[in-house]
Structure 1
Amino acid sequence: MIQVLFVCLGNICRSPMAEAVFRHQVKLAGLADVIQIDSAGTGDWHIGHPPHQGTRDILDRHQISYEGMKARQVRSDDFTQFTYIIAMDDSNVTNLGSFAPDSKDEEKRASIHKLLDFSSDRKLSDVPDPYYTGNFQEVYEMVEESCSRLLAFIVKKENLAP
């Protein structure tokens, strides 16, 4: 089983949007039985809350389910449970370091990337936080395209047959 964890700051805007979009793409590709998806935040302010209204609105417009999603914080065991940890920005990558198990831990298996590492547009390296910018449409477009390319990367790297 391939497991993918999307990470942002509070786990109410960007990472749940990426989780929902990627889950939708994985389902359409017929790979839901081999790829599991989750999201988490590096902060603890929104634990247990549903995605932000702006995220829910954009997902509703695109008929993408976010049913049952609740914010949670990153845990150290995420580094052993997940195959890929996909952060939204440099700050998230840095903050992940405080949750990572000791580097001597041989169980650590997660490969950490930033979502926009998979974007065709290399002008930006970080997904802007719509909690502050309010631009959920811009973020959705970045997430949708990058998740599609992430899926292609995983299919190739893991030798998955859709």
Structure 2
Amino acid sequence: MVSVLFVCLGNICRSPMAEAVLRHKIVQRGLQDQVSVDSAGTGDWHIGSVPHEGTRKLLDSWRISYEGMVARKVVSQDLANFDYVIGMDDSNVSNMRKLSGGNDAAILKFMDLLPNEKLREVPDPYFTGNFEEVYRLIDAGCDILLDKIIEEKL
């Protein structure tokens, strides 16, 4: 089973949106027995919380399930257990590299999946309010990521 972990700051906006979108795409491609996905945050403010209302509304509008998702904090063991650990911005990637103790081969920055985009970080809609922009980026990036997983691991 190939495993993916998305990481953002609080695990209520960007990373759960990416988790839900990738799960949806995995099911659409019939890969649910081959690829698993989770999400976490680098901060602990929202542990146990459901995704942000803006994320839930947007996912609902696309009929993408976020059932059972609750915020958690990334731990060092995650960096050893997941095949792909994907940070939403430079700060997330930097925090995970510190946590990894040098075992950071699996860590990627989400926007590296979208080299033609001007943005180099996934904006945090908790602060910007622009959940639609984040969805557009995540939707496109998850397609590329799933193709990458299929090519590299399946």
Q: Which has the higher helix share?
A: 2
Q: Which runs of 5+ in 1 are unaligned?
A: none
Which residue, 127, 135, 138 being the options, matches 2:133? 138
Percent of residue pairs identical: 56
Match of 1:36 in 2: 36
Cα displacement (A) at 1:65 = 0.2
User: TM-score scaled to structure 2, two decimals?
Assistant: 0.96
Match of 1:88 in 2: 88
**Displaced runs of 4+ in structure 1, greater than 3 A?**
none
Match of 2:111 in 1: 116
Across the aligned residues of Structure 1 and Structure 2, the Cα RMSD in angstroms comes to 1.2
Verify the 8 A CA contact 2:85 2:108 in the aligned structure 1: yes
1:156 aligns with 2:154: no
Q: What is the identity, as a one-letter code, of the residue corresponding to 1:155? A: I
| Distance in 1 separating the partners of 2:45 and 2:121 | 21
Verify the 8 A CA contact 2:97 2:104 in the aligned structure 1: no
Match of 2:56 in 1: 56
Give aligned pairs, total: 154
Q: Which runs of 5+ in 2 are unaligned?
A: none
Verify the 8 A CA contact 2:113 2:145 in the aligned structure 1: yes
